[in-house]
Structure 1
């Protein structure tokens, strides 16, 4: 008897020994195993539970078609499409509890699609020769994916790569046993923020919203947090969105590698989810603290947050660009949007007398928001700072009005 079943995915024509080793480790720990072959040219040493023909067919293609294209990249995209569709269906049918995908660059490309097809809360592990590599753009990473570097595993089994493979097998099985998937027993509000040093509204808002019967998930808007936030927004997981830390929009606009992708601040709107927006830390561009300042930001004031992260203070012109970028993204929203504009500043460091205070830059941002705000967005100006109690009170006033109007269902 087994308590949890893990789906093992990989190219069994070239990684047969490694994939079978993973399966044996899982079985040795009392786990069940399903196998899926995503290779194109060769065959496994023994039949898998889901063959390469099953995978291709699930995506509306065939192995013959993948081979006929005479293009390795095209062939793997055919397999990625089929594998993603098949994995999603098998999960809906309750066939497995977690997934482990093995690959080099080709297999990792497919693995990212496979993991993205599964909802948050399903344990998903990728063992890859390019784990943690800049080859992987942040927008390809699912919100709760786990990656393990496949050290020494490019070709054949050895004691080095067995250490990685066995850890991965134990990790995914342990996660499948321990995971508490999102309950969905209370409507969920998605909120973005940073730590309490710079933004503090969540301290007042979280208990107030929970007292109204809602669950609140606060996402750290430093690239990957924004990806998780956008992933759930795309799924329609949120009853409402309180996106108060849109700094990732500016990071992406200015070419920072700390990006949540080009679709940041668009998925809730596309799903018709009601949104309250505010410009927390809108004036800062984060970059990797141990790397050189991006060329387009050289010469601007810098705040060193820690050894990993530094922030560049935007110029007035860049703040105008930021305002236009947010307005452009919000203009496509299908649900109601309220933009709360605190006239006294958007982070603790920009208060008068603070180290990043810039009255001219703040005035430029406010002016551009007034000029560029699209017709579908309600702009509410507050004679307050974003960390003042008046800001949190304004948020709750808007939210309670939505509840009374039926825009957001009562919890």
Structure 2
């Protein structure tokens, strides 16, 4: 049951920024006086103030650390407070006692707030006002939906600019909390909740095929979630699969594994290609865009790749063609991860588009390399020999509409297979 009063959690280091947090609190209440504001102190020193809901010593207690907090090195202190605050806020969220969370700070405060927020479910409202929000925020956001707002000035005393920024943030989080509470109150009545959710991975060079696959699935009653295979996209899909937010996957674009192997800019980590297998969900895995490794602008590409086959996808993305040896290793990794994690191998299949694994690897295009592709296909087939994981070879390219319909139809059949097994 939803609480009678919606709440916003505010997390930060109150021993250094209490004035700014109290101002933020006042502005949230000004925008929506019906809200309850829960201040969570994750600072080094305990602060005694009537507005603080969860004191610093309570956060320490929740972390399990019973020693002298003041004696800890800064990095260990931060880890301790993250652990305690995350435990408290996970519990509050799971009980439906908070409907949004906001933090503010410099690099340390942002580290604490973002780490805690990453422990909360995707789509739960999260906002950080930060001095580092105008730089690379990928280490803070990762695969989650944290909203970052640049503070413009340092969060060190109130002035006209910071007050205006905090006022915007307060209005935003108040609105987010209200919208989230309304959405959650709908519960299963949401029409989309009855649909089976399917994750699909996509890249620019597999877009045509993925779009056709998506449309077929949508016409046949599935809700489709497309993930851009840029590292964070693959991690986000794995997370939603692990959280049971998705019911199956068409992992058509596994290019992130090439970046992981060769050192590109879009790796998704060693957990990539594991969540659906561990959950026993219907999945079809393919080899989309494994012909390429991704780098930034051409002049930023490591020197050792300058002699390779280079393709400028756009001014911000430069591609390097994977070699025969790299393709062999990629095939080995795909088959090994599937073998190591599949609890229902009969619901997993690997589909190989023999005429091209991306828009630029078909015959006549820049990355056409039959030898490298054959090495990839052979490695996968060899790696899955003797397992119940089926390998399907299709004499089409990955963007052919006939491929798209075949792979979508087969995933639908795997869903039926899983359903029949569950009711047998």
Residues 344 and 351 in structure 1, CA contact (< 8 A), matched pair in contact too = yes
In structure 2, how many angstroms separate the alpha carbons of the residues matched to 1:303 and 1:163? Answer: 45
SS across alignment from 2:86: helix
**5+ long unaligned stretches in structure 1:** none
2:345 equivalent to 1:342:
no
RMSD: 2.6
Q: Partner of 1:359 in structure 2?
A: 370
SS at match of 2:377: helix
**1:118 corresponds to 2:120:** yes
Tell me the CA shift for residue 36 of structure 1.
Answer: 0.8
Identify the residue that residue 196 of structure 2 maps to in structure 1.
187
Q: Give, in angstroms, the shift of residue 291 of structure 1.
A: 5.2
1:60-79 deviation line (CA, Å, top 9, x unaligned): 334x44335x2222122121
Aligned residue for 1:43? 47
Question: Structure 1 319/408 Cα, relative in aligned 2: closer, same or farther at 3 Å?
Answer: farther
Alignment match, 1:377? 389
* Residues 282-361 of structure 1 aligned to structure 2 (within 5 Å): 282-289=290-297, 292-333=300-341, 334-336=343-345, 337-361=348-372
1:218 is aligned to 226
Q: Determine helix, strand or coil for the equivalent of 1:156.
A: coil
| Structure showing the higher helix proportion among its residues | 2
State how 1:170-181 maps to structure 2 within 5 Å: 170-178=171-179
SS at match of 2:96: coil
Find the counterpart in structure 2 of residue 390 from structure 1.
402
Q: Equivalences for 1:5-404 in 2 at 5 Å?
A: 5-30=7-32, 32=35, 33-62=37-66, 64-68=67-71, 70-131=72-133, 133-134=135-136, 136-137=138-139, 141-178=142-179, 184-195=193-204, 198-289=206-297, 292-333=300-341, 334-336=343-345, 337-373=348-384, 375=387, 377-404=389-416
How big is each residue's C-alpha offset from its partner over 1:248-271, in whole Å with a ceiling of 9 and x where there is no partner? 111122222333333222222233
Change (3 A) 1:228 1:185: same
Q: Distance in 2 between matches of 1:86 and 1:348?
A: 48
Could you say if the C-alpha distance between residues 34 and 291 of structure 1 is closer, same or farther in structure 2, counting changes exceeding 3 Å?
A: farther
Structure 1 residue 11, shift from structure 2 partner: 0.8
Instruction: Work out whether residues 127 and 150 of structure 1, in 8 Å CA contact, stay in contact via their aligned partners in 2.
Output: yes
SS in 2 for 1:312: strand
Closer, same or farther: CA 273–54 of 1 in aligned 2, 3 Å: farther
Structure 2 gap segments, 5+ residues each: 185-189
TM-score under structure 1 length normalisation: 0.89
Q: In 2 relative to 1, CA 253–158 (structure 1 residues): closer, same or farther, beyond 3 Å?
A: farther
State the 1:152 CA deviation. 2.3
CA distance in structure 1 between the partners assigned to 2:13 and 2:310 by the alignment: 47
Change (3 A) 1:135 1:122: closer
Between the aligned partners of 1:198 and 1:135, the Cα distance in structure 2 is 27
Aligned residues: 405
CA contact (8 A) 2:47 2:55 kept: no
SS at match of 2:331: helix
Measure, in 2, the Cα distance between the counterparts of 1:38 and 1:229: 30
